[in-house]
Structure formats: C-alpha cells, structure tokens
C-alpha cells in the first residue's frame, strides 16, 4: 500500500519537488540536465502523497519554474499560449492515474501491468489535453487539426518513455526504501 506516514510523505514530496525543479527548465533534457520529470512527478505525487492539496502545490511549482525559465533564464517561450491553462487538467490526469493505484498491496506481475497501463493512460490523457490547449491557444489552428496532430504526435513516444522511466524509478525507490526500513508506511486503513 502506498500510504506514507506524515514525515515520510513530506520527504517524498520534497524529493519530487526537487526532481521537477532540476529537470523542468530544459525540455527533454536539452542542456546538461535529465529529461523533464514533470509528468512522472505528477503520477508519483498521486500515488504517494495523501492530500489532494499536493497537486495544487506541484502545479504552482510548475508555473513558478516556467516563469523563472522564461523570465530569468531566457528560455524560449514558444510553447506559451492562452492554452497553458489546460496544463492543470492535463497534469491532473496523471495525478489521478497515480491515485487509482494507491491501494496496491504488492508489486507482482499483475500489479506491474496495472502500473504500466495507468501510466500509459495518464500520459495519453496528459498529451491530448496539453496539446489541445496549445492548439486552441496558439496560431497552429491555421494549420488545421489533422496537420497539427501529425506534427505533434511524433513527440508522444518521448513523453511516454520519460514518464514510464521516472514512474518506474520512483516505484522502485519506494519499494527499496520500504524493504530497507527507511520508509515509514502508515497502517492499512
């Protein structure tokens, strides 16, 4: 069961916030950092963190990091449009996908399959909603929807791969910490 005691939950939240902060500024790992972990962070936050307020905290962090990247680090703002607001429900899809797996007791083959399916479903929903927002809020609507879909669909495999990697890494770290007795698990409810 992915239910942490309060102290362990704060540590997990801090680790996820740091992971997003060090990877978000350079999209897909451009530069010297790893690929953007934001999608994996939202999935893992839904899985590991009990309070629904955590999704708001991570959304605020994402906006602040984007503001720092664009305002201070002069990262191109090509992806910014009025559709940026749809990132909130897009990330919520990942958070809810993680949330749906919160009561998983063990990590066997069936549970691993469920994790892969839920990460994939959450990533698909994220990708569709976030790109729909960009399409509606930018000048790409002049291309036509079919042309836009053709252009952006090539990015989906990277999003899925990165989300699966960070989610699997986070789940592996959770079970390793639990096995080593480092992680405090709350009693089953």
Residues 6+ apart with CB under 8 A from 142: none
Q: Hey, what are 156's tokens?
A: 């989906």
**Rounded mean pLDDT for each run of 10 residues along the chain, 189 residues in total:** 84 94 68 80 96 96 87 66 88 97 85 95 96 79 80 92 96 86 68
* pTM assigned to the model: 0.89
Residues 6+ apart with CB under 8 A from 75: 25, 26, 69
* Distance in angstroms (rounded) separating the CA atoms of residues 48 and 40: 12
* Distance in angstroms (rounded) separating the CA atoms of residues 12 and 98: 14
Task: Please report the DSSP string for 83-111 in residue order.
Answer: GGGGHHHHHHHHHHHHHTTTT-----HHH
Tell me the domain boundaries of the chain: 6-180
* Distance in angstroms (rounded) separating the CA atoms of residues 104 and 84: 33
């Amino acid at each position: 069961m992915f239910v942490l005691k309060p102290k362990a939950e704060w540590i997990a939240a801090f680790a996820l916030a740091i992971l997003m902060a060090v990877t978000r500024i350079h999209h897909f790992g451009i530069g010297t950092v790893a690929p953007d972990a934001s999608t994996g962070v939202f999935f893992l936050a839904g899985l590991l963190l009990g309070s629904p307020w955590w999704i708001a905290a991570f959304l605020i962090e994402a906006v602040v990091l984007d503001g720092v990247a664009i305002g201070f680090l002069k990262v191109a703002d090509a992806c910014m449009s009025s559709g940026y607001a749809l990132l909130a429900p897009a990330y919520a899809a990942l958070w809810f996908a993680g949330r749906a797996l919160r009561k998983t007791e063990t990590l066997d083959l069936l549970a691993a399959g469920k994790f892969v399916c839920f990460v994939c479903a959450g990533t698909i929903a994220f990708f569709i909603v976030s790109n729909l927002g960009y399409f509606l809020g930018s000048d790409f609507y002049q291309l036509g929807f079919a042309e836009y879909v053709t252009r952006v669909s090539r990015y989906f495999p990277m999003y899925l791969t990165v989300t699966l990697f960070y989610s699997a890494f986070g789940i592996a770290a959770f079970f390793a910490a639990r096995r080593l007795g480092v992680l405090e698990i709350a009693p089953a409810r």
